[in-house]
């Protein structure tokens, strides 16, 4: 299993997910990977509660709140009190947040097209299918959820 771990780590590095200059190349904003996922989840869910997004991303509420506050400070998201329950904050993208997310989307599509361009159509299908299988296996294993409080290095 060590080789699987090494391959995954190498993949993340080569994809540039830890690249400090990624923001300049992508959208010109200092948006962390976690913040990018938050923006995507807000768009996907419409007007979700903070708790819902935190749960979906597997983040504790304190960490999530800090990330959301950063996005709000940049003018990328807005919080509104839910009319049905004043204890709940609902999140939405601002126009600028939508534009930044669209830039991130375009950047990632271009990057993936560049990566996949060196593969045959069979290889592309194999990679996509394999990623789907890997995602299903992770979900079925239950080992990587927020509920069990495990993380990759501490199991």
Specify the higher pLDDT residue, 21 or 134: 134
pLDDT value at position 75? Answer: 95
CB 141: neighbour CB atoms within 10 A?
9
User: Which single residue is written with the structure tokens 């749960």?
Assistant: 55
pLDDT value at position 154? Answer: 44
Torsional sign, CA 16, 20, 23, 26: negative
pLDDT value at position 28? Answer: 64
Here the contacts of 27-32 (C-beta below 8 Å, separation 24 or greater) are: 27/100, 27/103, 27/104, 27/107, 28/103, 29/74, 29/76, 29/100, 30/74, 31/71, 31/74, 31/76, 31/100, 31/104, 32/67
Strand, helix or coil at 64? helix
Distance of CA 84 to the CA centre of its chain: 28
Distance of CA 128 to the CA centre of its chain: 18
% of the chain exceeding 90 in pLDDT = 46
- Residue 18 scores a pLDDT above 80: no
- Residue 149 scores a pLDDT above 50: no
pLDDT of 35-73, one tens digit each?
889 999 999 998 999 999 999 998 988 999 999 999 999
Q: Taking all residues of the chain, what is their mean pLDDT, rounded to a whole number? A: 84
Any idea which fold 19-118 has?
A: Arc Repressor Mutant, subunit A (1.10.10)
pLDDT of 71-92, one tens digit each?
999 999 999 998 888 888 899 9
Specify the higher pLDDT residue, 7 or 144: 7
First to last CA, the chain: 14
At residue 152 the predicted structure's pLDDT band, cuts being 50, 70 and 90, is very low
At residue 133 the predicted structure's pLDDT band, cuts being 50, 70 and 90, is very high
The answer to whether the pTM exceeds 0.85 is: no
pLDDT value at position 96? Answer: 95
């Amino acid at each position: 299993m060590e080789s699987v771990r090494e391959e995954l780590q190498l993949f993340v590095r080569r994809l540039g997910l830890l690249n400090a200059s990624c923001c300049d190349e992508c959208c010109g904003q200092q948006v962390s990977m976690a913040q990018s996922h938050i923006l995507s989840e807000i768009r996907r869910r419409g007007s979700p509660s903070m708790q819902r997004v935190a749960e979906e991303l597997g983040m504790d509420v304190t960490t999530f709140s800090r990330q959301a506050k950063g996005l709000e400070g940049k003018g990328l998201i807005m919080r509104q009190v839910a009319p049905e329950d004043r204890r709940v904050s609902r999140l939405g993208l601002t126009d600028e947040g939508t534009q930044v997310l669209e830039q991130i989307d375009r950047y990632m599509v271009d990057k993936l097209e560049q990566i996949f361009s060196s593969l045959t159509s069979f290889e592309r299908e194999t990679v996509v299918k394999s990623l789907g299988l890997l995602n299903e296996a992770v979900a079925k294993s239950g080992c990587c959820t927020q509920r069990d409080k495990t993380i990759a290095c501490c199991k």
